[in-house]
Chain A
Amino acid sequence: MADPMRIRANMTGDKVEVKALMAHEMETGQRKDAKGNVIPAHFIQNVTVTHNGKTVLSAQWGPSISKNPFLHFRFKGGKAGEKVTITWTDNKGEKRTDEATIAGG
């Protein structure tokens, strides 16, 4: 199973600043291993970020997003102590959900 994400959510003014790191190979399907065999593509395709049941960001990614992806964005309407939840799904159907509590500004 995939490793947990590292999510930081902080109030800056009236906005929630979200920074997340996800543990994922993001294999392009174009690299070869030491024996010369092609390493099959394996990458996150969808990312959804929710807050209070509402989607605050959704993304589609290709294999050219860097390994161990980083994401940074801001949204309005959150308060310290509330949760931000991130879910990713990759091209093999693997899935991972983690959440973080919004910290005060």
Chain B
Amino acid sequence: MRIPWLVAGAVITALSSAAPAQDNTQKEIERYRQLLQEGNPADLYEARGEEIWKQKRGPKNASLEQCDLGLGPGVVKGAFAQLPRYFADTDRVQDTESRLVTCMVTLQGFKPEEAMKDPFAVPGRHSDMEALTSYIAAESKGMKLEVPIRHPKEVEAFQIGEQLFYRRAGPNDFGCVSCHSESGKRIRLQDLPRLTEPKEAQKIFTTWPAYRVSQGTVRTMQHRLYDCYWQMRHPQLDFTSETAIALMVFMAKYANGGSVEAPALKR
């Protein structure tokens, strides 16, 4: 509670109109966002991610440099702009993080549960996943998003994502649709994209992972969705779950054609 008039319990003369104050709020928030753009701490995560990518680790003492992110073993440049996608070796549609798990298991010899442990940073503990994803995303900066929706499993993932986008449940009756089906809406002061509108989807899907100033770390799309379900009063979404990947493919369909600007800087 930050409003002094409430604390004091005093009677306040209301503003004659709330509109000018609101215009100024929008303008100043915009200025705040712009001032932060001159230095994005995600740069630090990209650098650390690249180091982890090249480091020999795990029971097989191997690096991730031969990991196939969809464009062939070892190709990082441009890979992020085409994820999620279908991978024949796992017979699954995978995003950056689930693919990293696969590579940590096959190339480095980690157990799946080890590779998936603590994917999200908490105060005092970094996340390798957040750093690696920052590095991989940054290697597609400026490239056109072209997530394939051709393979039957990719088409299926899109259709599942579409169903789940509209699925309402829980004590607040929330679904993705509750916040992301209209243009020009906000939650508090945060703009909400209409995810089925290409222009809006392009600005959003292409800017994750992002350094979140409210959380003091880079967060990935996996975390964004986990956070959405948290806010929707749903239980903990499993890391690299099929739900998360299906929703990503759904979003990517509308975001395709946009330019990758990740990792970005957000509230």
Interface residues in chain A, defined as those with a beta carbon under 8 Å from any beta carbon in chain B: 3-6, 19-23, 25, 27, 31, 33-34, 39, 66-68, 70, 72
Q: Interface on chain B toward A: helix, strand, loop, or mixed SS?
A: loop
A68 CB contacts on chain B under 8 angstroms: 41, 44, 211, 216
Are B216 and A67 interface neighbours, CB within 8 A? yes
**When the two chains form their complex, are residues A72 and B38 in contact, meaning their CB atoms are under 8 A apart?**
yes
Q: Is the CB of B38 within 8 A of A27?
A: no
User: Which 9 pairs across A and B sit closest by C-beta, in order of nearness?
Assistant: A68-B41, A70-B39, A67-B216, A23-B44, A6-B43, A21-B39, A3-B48, A21-B41, A19-B39
A-B contact pairs, 10 of them (CB 8 A): A4-B47, A5-B44, A6-B47, A21-B39, A21-B41, A21-B44, A27-B123, A27-B124, A67-B216, A68-B211
Please, how many residues of chain B have a CB less than 8 angstroms from a CB on the other chain?
A: 14
Decide if B122 is an interface residue (CB 8 Å cutoff): yes
Interface residues of B (CB under 8 A from A): 38-41, 43-44, 47-48, 122-124, 211, 213, 216
Q: Which residues of B contact A21 (CB under 8 A)?
A: 39-41, 43-44
Are A31's CB and B47's CB within 8 A?
no
Contact (Cβ within 8 A) A70 B123: no
Q: A21-B40, A33-B123, A68-B41 are in contact. List 10 more A-B contacts (CB 8 A).
A: A3-B48, A4-B44, A23-B48, A25-B124, A33-B124, A39-B123, A66-B213, A67-B41, A68-B216, A70-B41
A3 B39 Cβ-Cβ under 8 A: no
Determine if B47 and A3 form an interchain contact, defined as CB atoms under 8 angstroms apart: yes
Q: How far is the CB of A48 from chain B (nearest CB, A)?
A: 19
Distance in Å: Cβ of B105 to nearest Cβ of chain A? 26
Q: Which residue of A lies closest to B43 (CB)?
A: A6
Specify the chain B residue showing the minimal Cβ separation from A33: B123
Within the assembled complex, what's the spacing in Å between the Cα atoms of A67 and B214? 10
Hey, which chain B residues are within 8 Å of A20, CB to CB? Answer: 39
Chain A: minimal CB distance from B211 (Å): 8
For A71, the closest partner residue in chain B by CB is: B39
B124 contact set on A, CB distance < 8 A: 25, 27, 33, 39
Q: A67: which B residues are within 8 A, CB to CB?
A: 41, 216
Check B44–A6 contact: CB distance below 8 A. yes
Contacts of A4 in B (CB 8 A): 44, 47
Q: Which residues of A contact B216 (CB under 8 A)?
A: 67-68
Q: How far is the CA of A70 from the CA of B216 in the complex (A)?
A: 13
Give the most central of B47, B48, B211: most A CB within 10 Å: B47
- Closest chain-B Cβ to A13's Cβ sits at a distance in Å of 18
